[in-house]
Amino acid sequence: MQKRIFPVTGSDTAHAMRWGAIAAFSLIVGIFLGSRGLRDFDPALVSYAGACVFTVFGLGYRYAMWLRRPPTRLYWYRGWQIFLEPRHFLRNAVHLGRIILRNIVLQRFIEKRSHLRWTAHWFLAWGCILAGAVTFPLSFGWIRFETAAHNQEIYRALLFGIPVGSFHLGTWIAEAAFNILDIAAVMVLIGIFFAMWRRGRDHGAMSVQQFSNDLIPLILLFAICVTGLFLTVSTHLMHGLHYIFLSQLHAVTVILTLLYLPFGKFFHIFQRPAQLGLDFYKRAGAEGPQAKCRRCGEEFRSQLHVEDLKTIQAALRIRYQMADGSHYQDICPQCRRKNVALIQDGLWKATSMSERGLL
Amino acid sequence: MMERAFFIDYSRCIGCQSCVQACAECDTHRGTSMIHLETIERRDSVQTAPQICMHCEDPICAQVCPADAIKKTPDGVVQSSLKPRCIGCSNCVLSCPFGVPKYLSNIDQMMKCDMCYDRSSVGKKPMCATVCPSGALTFTTMEEIQRTRQGIPINSWKFGAEEVKTKVYVMVPREVTRVDVDLVQIRTTAPALPKDPYDVALMLEEIQ
Amino acid sequence: MARLPVDIPTLVKDFGPTLHRIPAGGWAHTIEDEKLVKTHCCFCGQQCGIQLRVHNNKIVGFEPWEDFPFNRGKLCPKGVKRYMQDEHPDRLKHPMQRVEGKGFEAISWDFALQRVSSEIRRIQDTYGKDAFAILTGASLTNEKAYLMGKFARVALQTANIDYNGRLCMVSAGAASKKVFGIDRSANPWSDIPKAKVILVAGANIAECAPITTDYIWQARENGAKLIILDPRMTPIARNADLFIPVRSGGDIGVFNGMLHVMIERGWIDRPFIDQHTVGFEQLAETVRKYTPEYAAKIAGVPPAMIVKAAELWGPAPTSFLMHSRGIEHHTKGVDNCIAAINLVVASGRIGREGCGYAMITGQGNGQGAREQGQKCDQLPGMRDIANPEHRRYIAGIWGVPEESIPQKGLSAIPLVEAIHDGKIKGLISICFNPAISLPDANFVREALEKLEFYVNIDFFLSDTARYADVVLAGSLMEEDEGTTTSVEGRVIRHRKVVAPPGEAREDWKILCDIADRLGHGDKFRYASPREIFEEMRIASKGGVSDYFGMSWERIEENNGLFWPCPEAGHPGTPRLYENGKFGHPDGKAHFIPIEWRPSAEMPDEEYPIILTTGRVVSQFLSGNQTRRIGSLVDQYSQPLCEIHPRLAEKLGIADGDFVKVESRRGNVVVRANLVKTIRPDTVFVPYHWPLDRSANNCTIRAIDPVSNIPEFKTCAVRVSKVNQPTDPIAMLEVQAGGIQ
Ligand code: SF4
Ligand code: SF4
Ligand code: SF4
């Protein structure tokens, strides 16, 4: 297994380009097939679909790059290896469901960081997911709505050209379906409001936040929501006033955001699931043998993790081998702290003792 | 104002924990203390030692982080993990040569000393180095430290064969240029000292 | 009827100590609308400068005050977390009275003051003026300390007022006064780093005066040698050039032995002695027999250590001596200090840059509070209450006939004994928690129960206040303003940061109101603490501690002024005794020969071990404030008995075992902490905790004949392993006296 993970060979860029291209090509194929050879494809949305292809290229590139980093690569392989372990597969699948609910759906770990942060994040995340769930398939031509042939009052939704449901105009489902993007926009705006409130008040958050990383994403989302809501306002309240201009403006904000996606803060959406793999890794570690610190003799971490770290460190050319053949990684963090202090204090004690003629 | 730096002299520490109490008052991590204060071995000694982040030039914690969550600011301060990224794996906790990062299981995230970034980034001293009554933790100019201390500040370390350079300095006697952690056997009393140097009963036995 | 109205667990439930952990407004911090107020720490005598953060009229945190010259932003953990006593759930917010079987009920100020004044009248009319006593404290501002003395002598006309500085600075003060003629540290702290040898006797600087650490380390950086005397290896001692693990009470052996060697080797300053001192010959005569061998037996250490100490101290060009409770809390506390000071004077190294002497004040205003006339034998300005001239001057300031000022009253321990004897029937106390801080705690609690009427002024319901008939909700340091005088003799300004919460009132207002109800309101018409300061300043004029030339503005401008400061333009006096001019009328220092004598109770067959008591860095005195602050309690949550592994092995005790430390008077059950850093004939228990966790259950009620300080540092005990206690007190939370 170790052999398969390391060493990482070949040019990083070429490798990442390849994966980027594969991802982009897959999407194009997906669009073509999913829209039944572009029959269901809405040409008005072509700019969105195009931007998505670029974005997917970027994501593939970035993800591949990310997986080239020794620690990530190791966890990637280990995570799958442990998850797919045939003996535990059923147990693992059940557990996966549980942690997806806890970490991805409810995002409980964020709640513990701060309620305000959690509230903000939850609204932002679910607003975006909701919007994405509608807009991406729409612009790829994967879903489509049409009125039923026999009844103008009934709408049918088709996925990949296959009818998956229908609803009657005037029902709440219809209302929800037509206004789903507005609902999503409001959710995102609520999230932005909480996030900005927090960032504007918490002195600690203010001092570490960066404009490009922490504020740009909020600004982009804000722009999408506002222009999107204006479209609704324009349609329903202002008889389509400036509709064309507004829709172009909206498209620009969306496309910018899509292009930003692989490179800025939003990339964490794709990194985050690694936490799930890690959960399995930690469990496997805890069930296996534990590493004991060479200095204090106490258990401090799973043997699996400590040995994997040595592998990672070797791949990163971190040379923790000690002169006596032992490995610095076998010393627990607490002993490292004590050890450094003892050495420094010892240097002083030696000096003062040699001054006093004791050494 | 002249550029100020962080200087540690472990041997001065008196274990009062002002640093620990004050660390929790810093706004970037208020309510959670990031500094470590070790009681070396209470049975044998009263020695204690603080450990803040040394802010390595090429931080090992960041290198081993799978999530790319640890970032260094342009002024050389290694920050706490980025909240959206950190997946709580503890690679950093276990790999840091100085044993600095803390994994907080309740939030499933690593946090660490960020030199009170809210303070140091605007020219204020970090909390611990302001309150520390012993001067074990000091934030001042290089000139001032050279003027007032017997020893010299060094920031070169060697752990095994790994050389590490840090933004934070440690005070050592004049002849020392780098601390080689691998040269010293690891045990509970300082290497240069006789066994049990702080045993009062032994001191009283020396009746000549 | 000063008995507990209900059982302790119920009182704890209602009034704490509960742990305060989260600051007002939560941890997330906003800097909008924030106000920073420069003031000082309310705890120890170092009186560190600190800024308190105020938001919406609430204290929400602190910020170091780096410009204050003494501590330059440095703080110990108590200072860092002191702000957690603000907005505290246990805070008393209205007057209360005792209700049998229920606890305490809120009453109006009018009713409370009426009841207090009529009880004072009744007791004084029935049993005489002196049957109503006052116990006050050394953490009060100068203004309040002054007011307490005046209140006793003018409003109550009782002789019996004393303060908890009696447990703190009196031995050092008396010794200093006897040898130097003035009761104050002789030097500012800035002299410490300039000394080439520093002798610290009985002072756990790292924990009880942490800010002084940097001064000492700085001296070491400058090449100073450090000598430490302590039965325990303290954190400072770990880096000492010479650590002398002296037996508690054996210090005179070391001091006299050192002087013996110094005289023998010619390491004394003859010209200085001839010119500026008297009494050296008798002293030399006395120490002649203190050969290192003889001295070492007294001190319980190898003779070589004493010789080494003399070798380090004797020939040094500059030096600094510091001592505190370790040598002062003895029935020979004054003698211990004198023997130490003799070393300073014999070397002639005093009154110059880098040459000096200091006693380390324990309590917040340990220095100032003993100058303003709240001691049983003193009037303001450190004036002598027995001296007719002094009495006349103060009578003039107060506008009362000299004869109306009572004579000297009882000091704290005899005062409590008089309560126990039924001679004193009524008590008013403020800033004093004798149930924890006095020795022989079982006796003290018995005494409290014998009071006919007890009124307590406090901001939290202290362990002693639980015995009160009436509790008056007073003010925290930051809820009032005034001055204190720090360890250096530096008079500094405490600013008002917020108003007392609810109906709680500033202490000085409460006292003035009581005085008013007793018919002496005309003598207590102050609009503010500043007016009290103005009167006090004049009262101190011409006294030893002369504040006459000070004003609050000058104090603020100069970051404090050192007394004496006799006139308006006077710069203050940071360093005393310059040019060999001492405080006695003859201008000389007076050597006093000291002979060692045993402690009141020496270990014997039955009680073979010495118990010594002291403090930990995260707690302050009786813990009434610090045992309510979560993170301070976390740092060191319950008392531990430090015991050497060799002794523990003999007694069959392992680390963490429950042990009973037992003297002839009582016992304390705590966990054992096996450490090699203590003498094997001695155990140590810190005293900040109440009830069954109070080290003072064991300590002895013996006092120094001169200073009347109790012998906290030595008593005989036996130690044995016991099972984990499970009684209702043991089950309380640790800060309330429980055990884990
Ligand atoms: S504040 Fe300073 S002396 Fe106190 S524990 Fe921390 S480093 Fe040590
Ligand atoms: S705990 Fe977080 S910051 Fe540390 S290595 Fe893991 S992912 Fe990175
Ligand atoms: S308790 Fe004493 S040393 Fe600690 S901060 Fe307060 S004044 Fe300073």
- Give the model confidence (pLDDT) of C714-726 as tens digits: 999 999 999 999 9
Side-chain-side CA neighbours of residue B81 (13 Å): 32
Co-location of A167 and A249 in the same domain:
yes
A173 with A225, same domain?
A: yes
Both A307 and A188 in one domain: the answer is no
Does a cis peptide bond (omega within 30 degrees of 0) precede residue A7?
A: yes
What does each C-alpha distance from A234 to A229, A244, C106 come to in angstroms? 8, 10, 65
| C157 and C199 share one domain | no
Of A116, A201, A356, the CB nearest to C30: A201
Asked if A352's CB is within 8 angstroms of C241's CB, the reply is yes
Give the pLDDT confidence score for residue A359 in this predicted structure: 47
Q: What is the mean pLDDT of chain A?
A: 85
Cβ separation of A203 and C241 shorter than 8 Å? no
Of C20, C42, C113, C105, nearest to C505 by C-alpha is: C113
SS3 C281: helix
- Which one-letter amino acid corresponds to residue C707? S
Proximal ligand: closest to the CA of C205: 3
Nearest neighbour of C206 by CB, restricted to B16, B20, B45? B16
Q: C150 φ, ψ to 5°?
A: -70, -40
Inside any domain, residue C275 = yes
CATH of the domain at C47: 3.30.200.210
Q: Which amino acid is at A243?
A: Y
Query: Which residue has its alpha carbon closest to ligand 2 atom 6?
Result: B89
Answer for the pair C327, C251: CB distance below 8 angstroms, yes or no.
yes
Residues C585-639: tens digit of each pLDDT: 999 999 999 999 999 999 999 999 999 999 999 999 999 999 999 999 999 999 9
pLDDT digits (tens, 9 = 90+) for A237-273: 777 777 888 888 888 888 888 888 888 888 888 888 8
Cβ of residue B81 lying under 6 Å from some atom of ligand 2: yes
Q: What count of CB pairs under 8 Å joins A to C? A: 15
Quick one: C117 and C191 in the same domain?
no
Say if A7 is an interface residue toward chain C (CB within 8 Å). Answer: no
Q: Which helix (H) or strand (E) holds B155?
A: strand B152-159
State chain C's mean pLDDT as an integer: 96
C392 and C318: one domain? no
Instruction: Choose among C373, C352, C302: nearest CA to C154.
Output: C373
Query: Which residues are CB-neighbours of C395 under 8 A, at least 6 positions away?
Result: C401, C402, C404, C405
Would C102 be classed as within a structural domain? no
- Supply A121's token pair: 């994040």
Domain of residue A301: give its range: 293-353
Q: Do C30 and A352 touch (CB under 8 A)?
A: no
Give me the percent of chain B exceeding a pLDDT of 90: 75
Q: H or E element: which one contains C132?
A: strand C132-136
Chain centroid to Cα C97, Å, comes to 29
Helices (H), chain B: 18-23, 60-64, 91-95, 117-120, 127-131, 142-148, 200-205
State percent of chain C over pLDDT 70.
100
Tell which B residues from 3 to 62 touch A, by Cβ distance under 8 Å: 9-11, 13, 26-30, 36, 38, 40, 47, 49, 51, 60
Cα angle at C250 between C247 and C256, to 5 degrees? 140
Of A202, A313, A319, Cβ closest to residue B64: A313
> Would you say C484 and C494 are in contact if contact means Cβ atoms under 8 Å apart?
yes
pLDDT of A113 above 90: no
Find the domain containing C663 and state its range: 609-735
Pocket of ligand 1 (CB under 6 A): B 13-19, 37, 48, 50, 132-134, 136-137
Domain membership of residue C378 (yes or no) is yes
Q: How far is the CA of C49 from the centre of ligand 3 (A)?
A: 9
Ligand 3 lined by C477 (C-beta under 6 Å): no
Distances (CA, A) of A273 to A16, A101, A279, A313: 20, 12, 10, 24
Tokens 């009347």 belong to residue: C708
Identify the chains in contact with C, defined as 3+ C-beta pairs within 8 A. A, B
Clarify whether residues C378 and C434 are in a common domain.
yes
User: With 60 as the cut, is the pLDDT of residue A93 above it?
Assistant: yes
Q: How far apart, in whole angstroms, are the C-alpha atoms of residue C75 and residue B128? A: 10
Cα–Cα distance between A82 and A96 in angstroms, integer?
12
Q: Which of these three, A219, A244, A278, is where a domain ends?
A: A278
CATH hierarchy code of domain B59-112: 3.30.70.20
Q: Is pLDDT of A150 > 50?
A: yes
Q: Which of C460, C492, C525 is the last residue of a domain?
A: C525
- The DSSP element (H or E) to which B83 belongs, if any, is none
Ligand 3 site, residue C41, Cβ cutoff 6 A = yes
Structure tokens at C144: 């309040």
Contact C425, C398 (CB under 8 A): no
Asked if residue A34 is part of any domain, the answer here is: no
pLDDT at C515 over 50: yes
For residue C157, give both structure tokens: 């006309």
Q: Is residue C99 part of a domain?
A: no
Residue C38 phi/psi, 5-degree rounding, is -80, 120
What contacts C534, CB < 8 A, 6 or more positions away? none
C388-441 confidence digits (pLDDT tens) = 999 999 999 999 999 999 999 999 999 999 999 999 999 999 999 999 999 999
Q: Using an 8 Å Cβ cutoff, are C329 and C242 in contact?
A: no
Residue A222 lies in a domain: yes
Q: Is residue C548 part of a domain?
A: no
Is the per-residue pLDDT at A148 higher than 80? no
Q: Which of B63, B65, B82 to mutate to test the pocket of ligand 2 (most atoms within 8 A of CB)?
A: B65
β-strands C197-201, C319-323: how paired?
parallel
Q: What is the pLDDT of residues B2-58, one digit of tens each?
A: 789 999 999 999 999 999 999 999 988 889 999 999 999 899 999 999 999 999 999
Is residue C214's pLDDT more than 90? Answer: yes
Residue B175 has pLDDT above 60, yes or no: yes
Ligand lying nearest the CA atom of residue B79: 2
- Reported as a pLDDT band with limits 50, 70 and 90, residue A356 is low
> Exposure pattern of B120-141 as b/e (b: 16+ CB <10 Å)?
bbeebbbbbbbbbbbbbbbbbe
Exposed/middle/buried for C702, CB within 10 Å: 0-12, 13-18, 19+?
A: middle
Contact present, C361 and C176 (Cβ < 8 Å): no
Q: What are the chain A neighbours of C238 within 8 Å (beta carbons)?
A: none
Which ligand 3 atom minimizes the distance to the CA of C211?
3
| Of C442, A345, A52, C38, the residue nearest B193 (C-alpha) | A345
Contact A27, A52 (CB under 8 A): yes
Tokens of B105: 């299981």
Structural domains counted in chain A? 2
Do the Cβ atoms of A204 and C29 come within 8 Å? yes
Residue C310 has pLDDT above 80, yes or no: yes
A13 in any annotated domain: no
Per-residue pLDDT reduced to its tens digit, C114-125 = 999 999 999 999
What mean pLDDT do residues A102-112 have? Answer: 82
Minimum-distance ligand to the CA of B78?
2
Q: Could you give the percent of chain C with pLDDT greater than 90?
A: 98
User: Which residues face C135 on adjacent strands?
Assistant: C162, C429
Q: How far does the centroid of ligand 3 lie from the alpha carbon of residue C189, in Å?
A: 15
**Which pLDDT does position A115 carry in this prediction?**
85
Domain count, chain C: 4
Task: Check: CB of residue C59 under 8 Å from CB of residue C498.
Answer: yes
Cα dist from C314 to A128, C161, C198, C307, C575, whole Å: 80, 43, 11, 10, 22
CA nearest ligand 3 atom 8, residue: C48
- Chain B CB contacts of A298 under 8 Å are none
Q: What number of C-beta contacts closer than 8 Å exist between A and B? A: 210
A191-226: pLDDT as tens digits: 999 888 888 777 777 777 877 778 888 889 998 888
For the segment B58-64, the average pLDDT, to the nearest whole number, is 96
DSSP state of C246: P
Kindly report the nearest CA distance between residue C34 and chain A, in angstroms. Answer: 12
Work out the percent of chain B whose per-residue pLDDT is above 70: 92
Residue A126: alpha-carbon gap to chain centroid = 13
Q: Which residues of C touch A114 (CB under 8 A)?
A: 28
User: How confident is the model at residue B182, as a pLDDT?
Assistant: 59
CA A340 to chain centre: 38
A122 & A166 share domain: yes
- In a domain, residue C539? The reply is no
A37 is written with which tokens?
A: 């050879």
Contact C405, C391 (CB under 8 A): yes
ipTM of predicted complex: 0.95
pLDDT in tens, A277-299: 888 899 889 999 999 998 888 99
pLDDT of residue A175: 75
- Is residue C65 a contact partner of residue C77, using CB atoms and an 8 Å limit? no
Instruction: Kindly state whether residue C1 falls inside one of the protein's structural domains.
Output: no
Q: Are residues C686 and C709 in the same domain?
A: yes
pLDDT for B183: 46
Residues A273 and A300 in one domain: no
Look up residue B27 and give its two tokens.
């706004």
Among B34, B46, B171, B202, the residue to mutate for chain C (most C Cβ within 10 A): B46
Which chains touch B (3+ CB pairs under 8 A)?
A, C
List B residues 59-118 in contact with A (Cβ-Cβ < 8 A).
Answer: 60, 63-68, 79-80, 82-85, 87-91, 93-100, 106-109, 114, 117-118
Whether C320 and C344 have beta carbons less than 8 Å apart is answered as no
Residues C691, C616 share a domain: yes
**CA C337 vs CA C123, C127, C175, C516, C538: distances in Å:** 40, 39, 6, 43, 32
Fold of B4-52+114-207: Alpha-Beta Plaits (3.30.70)
Q: Closest to B91 (Cβ–Cβ): which among A71, A113, A343?
A: A71
Shared domain for A298 and A149, answered yes or no, is: no
> Are A252 and A203 in the same domain?
yes
Is pLDDT above 80 for A353?
A: no
Residue C387 token pair: 């001296």
The CATH number assigned to the domain holding C135 equals 3.40.50.740
- The answer to whether the Cβ–Cβ distance between B40 and A208 falls below 8 Å is no
Per-residue model confidence as pLDDT tens digits over A41-85: 888 888 888 889 999 999 999 888 888 888 888 888 888 888 888
Residue type, C450: K
Closest CA to C340 of C309, C316, C366: C309
Chain B residues within 8 A of C631 when measuring between CB atoms:
21, 24
Is residue A357 very low, low, confident or very high in pLDDT (cuts 50, 70, 90)?
A: low
Do residue C158 and residue C179 come from a single domain?
no
> Taking the domains of chain B in order of start, what are their residue ranges?
4-52+114-207, 59-112
Chain B residues contacting C, CB < 8 Å?
Answer: 11-18, 20-22, 24-25, 27, 30-31, 42-48, 125, 127, 130-135, 148-150, 196, 198-201, 203-204, 206-208
Kindly state the helix (H) or strand (E) to which residue B179 belongs, with its residue range.
strand B179-180
Q: Mutate which of A197, A201, A208 to test chain C, going by most C C-beta atoms within 10 A?
A: A201
Q: Is the Cβ pair C61, B25 closer than 8 Å?
A: yes
Mutation pick from B12, B14, B202, B208 vs chain C, by most beta carbons of C within 10 Å, is B14
pLDDT in the model for residue C520: 96
A127-142 per-residue burial string, b: 16 or more CB within 10 A, e: under 16: bbebbeeebebbbbbb
Distance, in Å, from the CA atom of A307 to the CA atom of A315, rounded to the nearest integer, reads 13
Same domain, C650 and C705: yes
Given B11, B30, B131, which is nearest C73 (Cβ)? Answer: B131
Q: Is B204 within 8 Å of C301 when comparing Cβ atoms?
A: yes
Helix (H) or strand (E) holding B144: helix B142-148
CA dihedral in degrees (B109, B114, B119, B123; nearest 10)?
Answer: -160
Is the same domain home to C46 and C33?
yes
Structure token pair of residue C310? 């003399």
Q: Do residue A246 and residue A134 come from a single domain?
A: yes
Q: Please provide the DSSP assignment of C347-376 as one string.
A: HT--SBTTBEEEE---STTTTGGGTSS-ST
Report d(CA C418, CA B74) in Å as an integer: 71
Query: Chain B contacts of A72, Cβ < 8 Å?
Result: 66-68
End-to-end distance of chain B based on CA atoms, in angstroms?
57
Q: How many residues does chain C have?
A: 740
Strand C103-106 relative to strand C96-99: parallel, antiparallel, unpaired? Answer: antiparallel
Position B192 pLDDT exceeds 70: no
Round to whole Å and give the CA distance between B60 and B8.
20
Q: What is the mean pLDDT of residues A311-331?
A: 91
Task: For residues C675 and B44, give the distance between their C-alpha atoms in angstroms, rounded to a whole number.
Answer: 6
B64 CA: distance to closest CA in chain C (Å): 31
Residue B10 near residue A341 (C-beta atoms within 8 A): yes
| Residue in C27, C29, C243 to test binding to A, most A beta-carbons within 10 Å | C29
pLDDT value at position A259?
Answer: 87
Query: pLDDT for B95-149, tens place per residue?
Result: 999 999 999 998 889 999 999 999 998 889 999 999 999 999 999 999 999 999 9
* Interval between CA C217 and ligand 1 midpoint (Å): 13
Portion 23-42 of C in contact with A at CB < 8 A: 28-32
Supply the DSSP string of C544-580, one letter for each residue.
Answer: SS--TT--HHHHHHTT-EESP--STT----SS-SGGG
